[in-house]
Structure 1
Amino acid sequence: MHADSDVEHVILGLEDVRYAALVRADYDAFADLCHPDLLYTHATSVVDTLDSFLEKCRSGWYDYHRLDHPVTRITVLPDVVLVFGQMIGEVTAGGTRKQLHSRTLAVWSRHQERWKLLATQSTGLPDVSPVPRPLARVGSQEDGALLRQEGRTA
């Protein structure tokens, strides 16, 4: 178990470096973390390779302003680590500024004695704005009970 916790610590550090590199627009640092066969699946279902993602970032298509990445679970397997969590932040994509709130899965694999990001998958979460409680029909029993609770009469 000790070896697994060491791997978890390393992977969490690499995740921090990965997200920071995107926000700093340090795409060489990001690329250094990635497996050559990276597949980057966005919450929009667009799939990028390492080359296509880097091209979009370097051209300004993607401009990451802020990224938080709480991790909820790490699964360590021989030569593969799965990182489950969220991505919360802001990005400009194709000239449109967007809020990000997604569940994420990152797959790290051991490649030439180093951990490399092999795949990432984002699934957008629905807007979690509070939904207003439906109002009772005027004159209904529920409406009268609510008014009585507030000290008024129906």
Structure 2
Amino acid sequence: MALTDIKVKTAKPKEKPYKLADGGGMYLLINTNGSKYWRMKYRFAGKEKMLSIGVYPDVTLADAREKRSEARKILAAGGDPGVAKKEEKIAQQMSLKNTFEAIAREWHQSKADRWSLRYRDEIIDTFKKDIFPYIGKRPIAEIKPMELLEALRKMEKTWSSGENAQSPPALW
């Protein structure tokens, strides 16, 4: 029988961990300390596997069912939902490491030995002041060309206004 929000919410811990089934391989594991975990059993390549869906109440019953549905679609397409989840997690971590600021600093470091100390500082200061506040924390793959152009135009305005107007530093 399918679970209800009330049944999930009122499930109390017992002496041993136990499961409340929802169907389609998904269940709620209730531990002795009262913690509740959504899990899904499935078979892939002839082996039984278990997919961790999330922790209740952070992941609601409706959310868990949606994730179960996504996992079943992956299985139907011939994939392993556990592997897909790991790949997605790695992609998210890589995306966080590949922010515009991280890539720009790496580029700056690779060019630094060719530049004078003053010029090197000028370049990174320009990025810190005019570019990083706008797009620095964003994953590089998510930045649209027009957003980059807008940030560069802001940098150009900064350099061309004021009493010490000058051309922005050449970046290569």
- With the length of structure 2 as denominator, give the TM-score of the two structures: 0.26
Q: Which has the higher helix share?
A: 2
Larger relative contact order, structure 1 or 2 (CA cutoff 8 Å, min sep 6): 1
Q: Which has the larger radius of gyration?
A: 2
More strand by share: 1
